[in-house]
Amino acid sequence: MKFGLFGINMGPCVDPDAARRVAQEAEACGFDSLWTGEHVVLPDPQAPPSPASPETPFLDPAVSLAYVAAHTKKVLLGTGIIILPQRNPLVLAKELASVDVVSNGRLLFGLGVGYLKPEFDALGIPFEDKGKRAMDYLAAMLAVWTQDKPAHAGPFTSFSGIQANPRPRQRPHPPIVVGGHTPPALRRAVQHGNGWYGYAMDVDSATACIRGLRQAESRHGRPADLGKLEISVTPRVRLDRDTVKRFADAGVDRLIPYRPRPTVDEILRDVRKLAEELIA
């Protein structure tokens, strides 16, 4: 089992010194990856299904990961997730390629389609076609990252006669991690992802999603060049060795715990405790 750490751009970690301390401690303790979350805006007042109060701070994922990259050496840097249909795909491709370059090839590009309609409304992005828009944007980003003469003609974005350098350090591109637990999200992960990410899950819900991923692969197929689908989960249950084993037996490859804490010292204590109990 690999272990990541969620929330490097949130809460106390919006302070750069706090983020540096947490990132370096996690790397020293054996965590394989650090993960950001994303909400460009949050509904005010908070209302379901909004996950956080409107005062919750989120640094931009690319800015946060570029900063953390400068203070670490080998830990992977994951976006968990970027809400892709809310972004300009060419601008995002430039930002993430830049992160991959300055980190010397450590980016994991986690994406999702979002679920907060007020957020889409505020950004002027249609909510109804977000899944199709996300996949069109992903295809556009891959074109910019991998094609000698980048060109794309899709329902939501089109371009040709351009170049965008530097390309990502990883070839052909950084690993694509698709988040979400709905049947369309599982299908997107199987057809387009190097990995799948499930957020706030217990063993039973993760097992159900892994079963859904296998059914999606059987029904829709999986491109051979994508390889094995890596399964990452942020658990909503307290982790001990028995629970970690149950996640592993279900088919989970990486656990990415998140424990919201009000101070950086409390986060650091959690990092050390998790490492002592589960990684050592």
Give the model confidence (pLDDT) of 87-120 as tens digits. Answer: 999 999 999 999 999 999 999 999 999 999 999 9
Which domain CATH number covers 98?
3.20.20.30
C-alpha 248/C-alpha 237 separation (Å) is: 15
Judge whether 235 and 201 are in contact, CB under 8 Å: yes
- Give pLDDT, residue 260: 94
Q: Which is nearest to 37 in space by CA: 76, 8, 3, 77?
A: 8
What digits encode the pLDDT tens for the residues 38-54?
A: 999 999 999 889 989 99
Q: Which residues of the chain have pLDDT under 70?
A: none
Element (H or E) spanning 56, and its range?
Answer: none
- C-alpha 57/C-alpha 36 separation (Å) is 12
**Where in the sequence is the domain holding 73, given as residue range(s)?**
2-279
Tally of residues, the chain: 280
Domain count, the chain: 1
Cα end-to-end distance, the chain, whole Å = 12
| pLDDT for res 118 | 96
> What is d(CA 97, CA 91) in angstroms, rounded to the nearest whole number?
10
Instruction: Give the per-residue pLDDT at 47.
Output: 87
Q: What is the pLDDT of residue 280?
A: 77
Report the run of H or E that residue 273 belongs to, with start and end: helix 264-274
Alpha helices per DSSP H over 152-240: 183-192, 203-220
